[in-house]
Structure 1
Amino acid sequence: MDREALRRRHRKAATKGISWFARAARRQATAAAEAAADHEAVSLERQRAEQRQTQQRELDALWQRLLRNDPDVVLATLAEAFEDNEAAAAAVGVADDEVSLLVLVPDTAAVPERRPTTTPAGNLSLKKLTKREAADFYKVVVCGHVLVTVKEAFAVAPALAGARVAAVRVTGDDAYGRPRTEVVLAAHFRRAALDGVQWATADSPTIVTDTSDELVIREGATKALGAIDTSRHEDLATLLAAVDIGELLDQP
């Protein structure tokens, strides 16, 4: 707070209309103005202190609700955390100490058709990926987005002990212009299982395989991720039904 600015404002208001030659009156008005300014400053400080205390109590209460895994608070916290993710994600529900997540992964077009290499003579070249190589690269992309989403959920909601996540991709629009979707990976992670992971050296498919205690994928002959039959997994069908994929696609 700028106390001097307060004093100038009060002095200007108090001496307005008093002649410069009425020195005694101006001194009296100035003294009263400075006292009023000091009183206002103390009052403002008290108000701000009360506001800080109120805000801190509100934050403390929200923190305690977060630590109790209050569904409303956890879901709101995760929604805010996921807003800037490269792959759109949504927290669908909280039950006890577990959260259900959906992450919208890119389709196979995210993997380039060629990779850099060198010729026997040492010249730079671009080699067309085999179907198996493309499938492996795509799996890295999908598992990477899944792990980023799970790690962020555990980071911002510290009382969560488990996360159930489904990776979903869009395959086009139906006759009504609504996005068609398919689940390509579903997994369950316990927070404790991520402790000690060598994030800098292990690839994402290895981490997903080794740290998840439930993993559902369907791989083709080239190990390409295929669509999981949600009719055989009621929980996945329920999860998909709970999310507006159109809204996720509209996220910046």
Structure 2
Amino acid sequence: MGLPWALAEAQTFHLQGVGRLARTERAAAKQRAQQDAPAYLAAETARLHAARERMASEAEQWWQALLANDEDTVCEAVNTAFSDNPAAGCAVGMDGTALSVVMRQQDLDSMPTQTHGLTPSGRPTLKSLTKRDRILWWLTAMGSNIIATLKEGFATAPGITAIDLAVMTRLPDTQRLGFVAYGRWSRQAIESTPWRDPEDALRFLDIGQDVTCSITTTASGNLSSTVKPLDTTRVPGLQDLLDHAQDEPDTGDLSLAALNITLGANTPPDDRTTISDPYRITPFTEWKHGSVSEPPPAPIVPPATPTVLVPGQTLVLPEEAWQGLRIVFRFARADADLTLFLIGGDGRVAGDEDFVFYNQPATADGAARLLGKQQEGPHTVERATIHLSALPERVRRVAVAINMDVETGLTCGSLTHAALDMDCVTGAAWTFEPPADPNIRAMVIAELYRHTADGHPVWKLRALGQGWADGLDGLARAYGVDVE
């Protein structure tokens, strides 16, 4: 943030409802903006600095609690880490430096009954798996999930030295939940064991302490062909859970069925949940109303039906758009990043500071800023703001571009429902759907540029939709950004 940005915000506020031809009123409004801008900038700078200090203090307190094995802190951190695991795990408590975890393993009945093979003539076919083949497949999958859960738990909570883990699944014979493996595994055992091949997953049986598994090896060296529940009386708490839980999902009481649902759901975050952003910039209107008692400004006009642009079309932006132009890029199916280039009269950026992208989301003065990317229903949405009146005079054009990740091999043709929307405080709005070109990986969707009309300076908008096959590297080089 800088003074030009603060001045642009203040002018947007004070010029609302003032006609373009009311020169005396406009001059007075701009004078008020010049008086308010330094105080607004100072207040926001102090507030953001205080927010950062508060968050740093909270983060340090949280880290110290995690290192000290505070039970609530450790369980919350570990369960957050477990939330995207294919085998749902749940940290349920601490005993000294040992963490207790319950893991929900995939049911044996859900495993495939056939696998690929070849006929005697070499043609592909499907062959039925024997009971013991299915058991081995299931046991290997369970071992893989156990090792992954243990490694993630140790990586998340650096203060724990061991994990007591119990594995729950639905038993084939009774269709009731039961425990099929449990034991204690130390950090040293997990971190010192090499994990390279799928067969290594079965080492969980050998490197733990007091490991018990319902799948055993018979006297002939074969795996047992049935999955039976373990005796839980050896482990305090497991038998109590089985004794008092009802395996009926419709009862109002806590049940193993409910635990099954809870542990296996991996419910994604609710897109409607509002997440507080401590670094959200306080709009000038909020700051002004909070610091000065005065009549509210004229109401903001809601966005009108946007003007649909076609490639090559240009138009003059209203003066109100200079004070704050909102940009929204929405798309689906693939991923893309919004990028801004502040370009001089020579067609190049003056320096890397005029290149706004995901690793540098704002210019030093805050005149151009990326606001982040989020999911809104089926679409991904990335927003940005540009204060044209706050841009240095050397900036003659602003290129609004997108780029794909070259390593994915995807192109702009992979995007669906892609559109660039712009609007300003007056409600004026414009939209442009860029071409889904399968031959390019970076594209300038639109361009903002200075112009002179009737002897007066103006800013114009041009819809483009032109790009580069080599992605962000080619796009950046075209505007003079050094790409290492």
Cα offset, 1:230, TM superposition: 1.6
Q: Hey, which of these two has a bigger chunk of strand by percent?
A: 2
CA contact (8 A) 2:171 2:228 kept: no
Correspondence for 1:200: 196
CA contact (8 A) 1:92 1:239 kept: no
Correspondence for 1:141: 141
The alpha-carbon distance between structure 1 residues 205 and 21, as it changes in their structure 2 partners (threshold 3 A), is: closer
Determine helix, strand or coil for the equivalent of 1:152. helix
Correspondence for 1:218: 214
Correspondence for 2:101: 101
CA contact (8 A) 1:88 1:249 kept: no
* Deviation readout 1:84-114 (Å, 9 max, x if unpaired): 2212221111111110100011211232111
The alpha-carbon distance between structure 1 residues 247 and 185, as it changes in their structure 2 partners (threshold 3 A), is: closer
Q: How do 1:113-124 residues align onto structure 2 when only pairs under 5 Å count?
A: 113-124=113-124
1:20 aligns with 2:23: yes
CA contact (8 A) 2:3 2:37 kept: yes
Correspondence for 2:129: 129
The alpha-carbon distance between structure 1 residues 244 and 60, as it changes in their structure 2 partners (threshold 3 A), is: farther
CA contact (8 A) 2:182 2:211 kept: yes
Identical residues among aligned pairs (%):
24
The alpha-carbon distance between structure 1 residues 216 and 33, as it changes in their structure 2 partners (threshold 3 A), is: same
Determine helix, strand or coil for the equivalent of 1:90. strand
Cα offset, 1:125, TM superposition: 2.0
The alpha-carbon distance between structure 1 residues 127 and 13, as it changes in their structure 2 partners (threshold 3 A), is: closer
1:55 aligns with 2:51: no
1:112 aligns with 2:87: no
Q: Hey, which of these two has a bigger chunk of helix by percent?
A: 1
Q: Distance in 2 between matches of 1:21 and 1:103?
A: 72
Cα offset, 1:4, TM superposition: 3.4
1:237 aligns with 2:233: no
User: Structure 2: which amino acid aligns with 1:152?
Assistant: E
Cα offset, 1:56, TM superposition: 1.0
Q: Distance in 2 between matches of 1:38 and 1:247?
A: 57
Cα offset, 1:62, TM superposition: 0.4
User: Structure 2: which amino acid aligns with 1:158?
Assistant: P
* Deviation readout 1:101-137 (Å, 9 max, x if unpaired): 0001121123211111222322212221122211111
User: Structure 1: which amino acid aligns with 2:94?
Assistant: V
Cα offset, 1:188, TM superposition: 0.9
Determine helix, strand or coil for the equivalent of 1:61. helix
Task: Choose from 240, 249, 252 the match for 2:261.
Answer: 249
Q: How do 1:34-49 residues align onto structure 2 when only pairs under 5 Å count?
A: 34-49=34-49
Q: Distance in 2 between matches of 1:238 and 1:56?
A: 42
Q: Distance in 2 between matches of 1:199 and 1:128?
A: 30
Correspondence for 1:72: 72
Q: Distance in 1 between matches of 2:183 and 2:240?
A: 15
CA contact (8 A) 1:189 1:212 kept: yes
Cα offset, 1:79, TM superposition: 2.0
Correspondence for 2:181: 185
Q: Distance in 2 between matches of 1:187 and 1:59?
A: 33
Q: How do 1:135-174 residues align onto structure 2 when only pairs under 5 Å count?
A: 135-171=135-171
User: Structure 2: which amino acid aligns with 1:215?
Assistant: V
Instruction: Give TM-score, length-normalised by structure 1.
Output: 0.83
CA-atom RMSD in angstroms: 3.0
CA contact (8 A) 1:136 1:223 kept: no
Q: Distance in 2 between matches of 1:112 and 1:13?
A: 65
Cα offset, 1:31, TM superposition: 4.7
List gaps (5 residues or longer) in structure 2.
246-253, 268-484
Higher mean C-alpha displacement, 211-220 vs 29-38: 29-38
The alpha-carbon distance between structure 1 residues 12 and 68, as it changes in their structure 2 partners (threshold 3 A), is: closer
* Deviation readout 1:125-182 (Å, 9 max, x if unpaired): 222112221111111122122222111111111111100101111248x9xxxx8321
* Deviation readout 1:64-87 (Å, 9 max, x if unpaired): 100000001011112222222212
CA contact (8 A) 2:140 2:198 kept: no
Instruction: Give TM-score, length-normalised by structure 2.
Output: 0.46
